């Protein structure tokens, strides 16, 4: 795992990259939140969707809700980036739409969109 810290509009954002899946359950999400907070001092994270297990994107599993609730509980904003057009679930598309109209959790196709959003909210 590699964590890069950037500054956008005087807001520090951690960009996490990895060739491995980092988030597979609630505990691994909490570990990521703690690592980024402790090592980088950031409460805003950009994470590629490839670092999250596929079960997360099946809303019937409940995993997305459990994991994202931890980010909200610990006041950490997250932007997940990647190609979400591969998913056909209407409920997932609705979920992504609702998140993107909120203030804590975002889904974008690229890092620049994520940086722009996390740098102003």
φ, ψ for residue 81 (rounded to 5)? Answer: -115, 150
Q: Please list the residues that pair with 80 across neighbouring strands.
A: 47, 107
Domain containing 12 equals 2-118
User: Which one, of 50, 41, 45, lies nearest residue 15 by Cα?
Assistant: 45
User: Whats the size of the chain, residue-wise?
Assistant: 121
Q: What is the dihedral angle through the alpha carbons of 82, 87, 92, 98, rounded to the nearest 10 degrees?
A: 40
CA distance 8 to 117: 10
pLDDT band per the 50, 70, 90 thresholds, residue 120: confident
pLDDT digits (tens, 9 = 90+) for 23-36: 999 999 999 999 99
pLDDT digits (tens, 9 = 90+) for 57-110: 999 999 999 999 999 999 999 999 999 999 999 999 999 999 999 999 999 999
Number of domains in the chain: 1
pTM to 2 decimal places? 0.95
CATH code of the domain in which 63 resides: 3.90.190
């Amino acid at each position: 795992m590699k964590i890069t810290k950037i500054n956008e509009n005087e807001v520090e954002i951690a960009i996490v990259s990895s060739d491995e899946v980092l988030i597979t359950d609630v505990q691994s999400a909490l570990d990521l939140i703690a690592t980024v907070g402790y090592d980088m001092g950031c409460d805003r994270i950009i994470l590629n969707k490839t670092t999250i297990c596929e079960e997360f994107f099946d809303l019937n599993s409940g995993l997305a809700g459990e994991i994202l609730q931890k980010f909200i509980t610990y006041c950490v904003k997250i932007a997940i980036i990647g190609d979400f057009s591969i998913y056909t679930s209407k409920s997932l598309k609705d979920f992504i739409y609702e998140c993107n109209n909120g203030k804590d959790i975002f889904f974008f196709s690229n890092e620049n969109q994520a940086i722009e959003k996390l740098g102003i909210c």
